[in-house]
Amino acid sequence: MARLDDEDLFQSSTMTFGEHLEELRVCLVRATLGLAVAVVVGFLVARPVVHLVEQPLKRALGKYYTAQSLRTFDSWQPRVAGGSPLPYSRAEVVDAVERLGLSFELREVHPDRLARVLGSRAAEGGSAAPPAAAPAVGGEAGRGAAVAPATGATPFVLDDLVPLLLWQPLARDPRVSITTLSAQEAFGIYIKAALLVGIVLSSPWIFYQLWTFVAAGLYPHEKRWVHLFLPVSTGLFLAGVALAFFFVFDFVLDYLLQFNAWLGLDPDPRISEWMSFVLILPVGFGIGFQLPLVMLFLERIGVMDVAAYAAQWRLAVVVIFVVSAVLTPADPYSLLFLAVPLCLLYFGGLLLCRLLPRGAASAG
């Protein structure tokens, strides 16, 4: 049970309140210096890191626009009965997209005008400019518009347009590229990438300073738990970061882009906004994954016990979901991907406290 009958929070501590504050100041300074050194290292590798963190977003955009292109292919219908069919079968299109990594856009042209332009260029070695009366129009362009023909020219006939698929490698598709909107934005991206590297690299040192501060106010038989918790704490933090980067990002991005499609909006993401997302989510996961360790530590020093953890599990689940909503962006997938593991970790921490009771540990 929590020590509710203590009037002085520090009466059973080995340090006074002032000494706690001084120890906190020293640990914060050391942690900040370690983070600064790690950020300097991060500047040396920030460029490849930017390209690395772009990959989940590019994969999600590629899947989004590939699915959109296939929907356009499936929904295309000739303008008139008996009109020109699509130049490829669906099986050919799917093979080119999935096996060869190509993307396409469906456009429409007048075949006679296109042949006239290509034939003219072939005959003259490619130096001739296309005739003014040889337009090639794509998609919805020109549909429903009345085009007044020049004197002696034939009118523009919509029904003569035939479908054409324009292919390119998905990696070179401009819709999949990630944009910046100002010249200085790239520098901000570089800083965020270095900060991300610095946080990950310095996490063992930061957790060491955190547990050093905690250990300073404990008795010798309690301090040994701090030395045991340090490597586990670092491992849990890195596990949370890895889960967010290698697993959660793809699900969250797919959900957000599907929501764009549902609203009929085409995404045009900026790299600076994505970097902010990359900073928040993994760090939130890494911090959240400390839960079982914190539970075991509080049980070891007598602040909480197994009975209290077991009795308050419903409240703990509510708190976990609230904290997950704070630590993650405003989408249900990232919230659930953090809250569900934390609920499992809470019960794992409860089981750990049961398997390693405080009395038995002290006796050993």
DSSP letters, 154-203, are PPP-GGG-EEEEEEEEGGG-GGGS-B-SSTTHHHHHHHHHHHHHHHHHHH
The token pair that represents 42 in the structure block:
């991060």
Rg (CA), the chain: 31
Q: Where are the domains of the chain?
A: 17-63+181-363, 66-176
Report the SS3 class of residue 279.
helix
pLDDT digits (tens, 9 = 90+) for 285-318: 888 888 888 888 788 777 888 888 889 899 999 9
pLDDT digits (tens, 9 = 90+) for 61-108: 888 888 888 888 888 888 777 777 888 888 999 999 888 888 888 888
**Least confident interval from 9-23, 72-86, 111-125, 209-223:** 9-23
pLDDT digits (tens, 9 = 90+) for 238-263: 888 888 888 888 888 888 888 888 88
Which DSSP letter does residue 179 get? B
Q: Is the pLDDT of residue 279 over 90?
A: no
Please say whether the beta carbons of 174 and 65 come within 8 A. Answer: no
Question: Exposed (0-12), middle (13-18) or buried (19+): which is 190, by Cβ within 10 Å?
Answer: middle
Report the SS3 class of residue 173.
coil
Please give the pLDDT value at position 343: 92
Amino acid identity, position 14: T
**Angle (deg, nearest 10), helices 271-288 and 220-243:** 140
DSSP bridge pairs for 162: 109
Task: State the chain's mean pLDDT as an integer.
Answer: 79
**Angle (deg, nearest 10), helices 17-75 and 90-98:** 150
Please give the pLDDT value at position 155: 79
* Rounded CA separation 237/175 (Å): 35
